[in-house]
């Protein structure tokens, strides 16, 4: 394995997670290792008339200490999730507050797939029922997809580059990759990067169910998300946020930070095929994986773990498995553990790629791989699927896949940090 020494290296010094399996990074990781599901019957609204009545929602989420009451009122949930996850990441990195940091070298790239969907729908109802004078004067601000980065910049004095990205279900991985590029290029030394979404609305559930993409196991919520299982019937829509604190390696080392992992490689491609269905050839996914490995200076045989996109839809799972065979070859693939975090969290959409990157970082830290829940009858017998509980592991490189509607493909390579 060749380490890249010809550019600035990017490391992870903090993770923050708000998810259906826990509202802290520690709770998230403990749930994943235990194989615990966060999918449940929906209670945030009356879903009785919908074909899908389950999802991965948050429980016990609280913004106290992170947002002023005024900012909380003026923020949609997707912004609130991102702010809390970012605070966790900075605290873990020893940077809350970020004292001694050059604000013009501090960046933020937080993405979302759906943005402020609930707030948009709510304000439309206000307009329809009460007229234009009752629409919030903050509507255009709080529903903007860049609202999380805007609020974080004010909260933490982030005066360097800050922006939002949106690439459907690949958003979180794209945000991390693009933030890493800011640091590598010398435009920043520190960045908050990740994704956030809150799309559990009646409209979004109905539309995605009508597209036949969602599991309809309403009577078995915890068993609904089944990546790589023969009995899968679709993905489970979930909410949450994940933010990583990324730093230039020397910057982190000089301040004595604990380095969790290195963001060694990133690549993104587009299928240019269909609005919702992946390219059946898997060519875009293959190219993204190969590009990320090349960016990391890794060969396929260097990879010791694969974090699959693993949605639990037949097309996605089978095309991803075929793409993995193309990149790694069947012999190496049989010896490379594959996990799929969505089996427990459900699909956190714009946050999912970041959540899975965080799980990869924690796997490198603790040398354990979380299992794939509900994979009782594996459909891909030549994949080393981690299905019987968490597995001890001593690898150094994780490849994390994120693919999305619109043909978006993003792949991250995370390494154990070598000083």
* Residues recognised as catalytic: 169, 309, 347
Rounded to whole angstroms, the Cα distance separating 331 from 221 reads: 36
Rounded to whole angstroms, the Cα distance separating 288 from 294 reads: 10
Contacts of 313 (CB under 8 A, 6+ apart): 213, 232, 234, 235
Hey, which residues does 56 pair with through a beta bridge? 238
| Region at 11 (left for phi over 0; alpha for psi -120 to 50; beta for the rest) | beta
Do residues 9 and 262 make contact, with C-beta atoms less than 8 angstroms apart? Answer: yes
Contacts of 357 (CB under 8 A, 6+ apart): 172, 173, 176, 242, 244, 307, 400, 412, 414
What would the DSSP string read from start to end of 370-416? ---TT-SSBS-TTSEE--SS-EE---SEEEEEEEEGGGEEEEEEEE-
Residue 14 CB neighbour total at 10 angstroms: 27
Rounded to whole angstroms, the Cα distance separating 72 from 79 reads: 9
Rounded to whole angstroms, the Cα distance separating 36 from 56 reads: 12
């Amino acid at each position: 394995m060749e380490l890249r020494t010809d550019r600035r290296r990017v490391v992870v010094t903090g993770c923050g997670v708000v998810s259906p399996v826990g509202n802290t990074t520690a709770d998230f990781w403990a749930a994943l290792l235990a194989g615990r599901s966060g999918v449940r019957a929906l209670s945030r609204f009356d879903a009785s008339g919908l074909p899908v009545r389950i999802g991965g929602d948050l429980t016990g989420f609280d913004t106290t200490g992170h947002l002023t009451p005024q900012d909380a009122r003026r923020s949609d949930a997707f912004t609130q999730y991102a702010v809390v996850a970012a605070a966790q990441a900075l605290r873990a990195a020893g940077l809350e507050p970020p004292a001694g940091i050059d604000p013009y070298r501090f960046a933020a790239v937080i993405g979302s797939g759906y943005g402020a969907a609930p707030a948009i729908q709510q304000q439309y109802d206000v307009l329809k029922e009460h007229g234009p004078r009752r629409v919030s004067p903050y509507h255009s601000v709080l529903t903007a997809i860049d609202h999380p980065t805007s609020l974080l910049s004010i909260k933490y004095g982030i005066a360097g580059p800050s922006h939002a990205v949106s690439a459907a279900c690949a958003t979180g991985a794209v945000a991390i990759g693009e933030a890493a590029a800011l640091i590598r290029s010398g435009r920043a030394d520190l960045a908050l990067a990740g994704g956030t979404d809150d799309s559990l609305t009646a409209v979004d559930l109905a539309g995605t169910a009508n597209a036949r993409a969602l599991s309809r196991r309403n009577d078995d919520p915890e068993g609904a998300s089944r990546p790589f299982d023969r009995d899968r019937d679709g993905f489970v829509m979930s909410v949450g946020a994940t933010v990583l604190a990324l730093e230039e390696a020397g910057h982190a080392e000089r301040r004595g930070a604990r380095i969790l992992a290195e963001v060694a490689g990133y690549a993104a491609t587009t299928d240019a095929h269909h609005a919702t269905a992946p390219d059946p050839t898997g060519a875009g996914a293959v190219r993204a994986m190969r590009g990320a490995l090349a960016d990391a200076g890794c060969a396929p045989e260097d990879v010791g773990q694969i974090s699959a996109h693993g949605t639990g839809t037949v097309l996605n799972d089978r095309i991803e498995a075929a793409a993995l065979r193309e990149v790694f070859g069947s012999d190496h693939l049989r010896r490379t553990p594959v996990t799929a975090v969505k089996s427990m969290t459900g699909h956190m959409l714009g946050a999912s790629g970041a959540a899975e990157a965080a799980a990869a970082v924690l796997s490198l830290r603790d040398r354990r791989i979380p299992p794939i829940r509900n994979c009782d009858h594996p459909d891909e017998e030549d994949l080393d699927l981690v299905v019987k509980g968490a597995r001890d592991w001593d690898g150094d490189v994780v490849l994390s896949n994120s693919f999305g509607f619109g043909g978006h493909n993003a792949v991250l390579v995370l390494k154990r940090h070598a000083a």
